[in-house]
Structure 1
């Protein structure tokens, strides 16, 4: 399970999330739109799922 799921609305918000996650060593799994049937956006060690749907 992720520790958080974030939906940035702008590229500035996205950059801020990535900057902060990098600073604290928090893993980030990006997710676009899709069914996730393959399970490619399931975090292995917790962390943040960064949902990009608002940026599309």
Structure 2
């Protein structure tokens, strides 16, 4: 489960990065929405990754 969480979070980070880099000419509102959604997706990916890594560290300390 831990590796699955790490894999999903990395996919979310890449997806968020891709959304942040998309630009549509002459469509200001779509560009803003893509940047906001990309930021949220990347943020959630980072949060999930940090939780998965911290869970792994806690389990190693308890062993």
Q: TM-score, normalised by structure 2?
A: 0.30
Identify the structure with bigger relative contact order (alpha carbons < 8 Å, sequence gap 6+): 1
Structure with the higher fraction of residues in helix conformation: 2
Is the radius of gyration larger for structure 1 or structure 2? 2
Q: TM-score, normalised by structure 1?
A: 0.33
Structure with the higher fraction of residues in strand conformation: 1
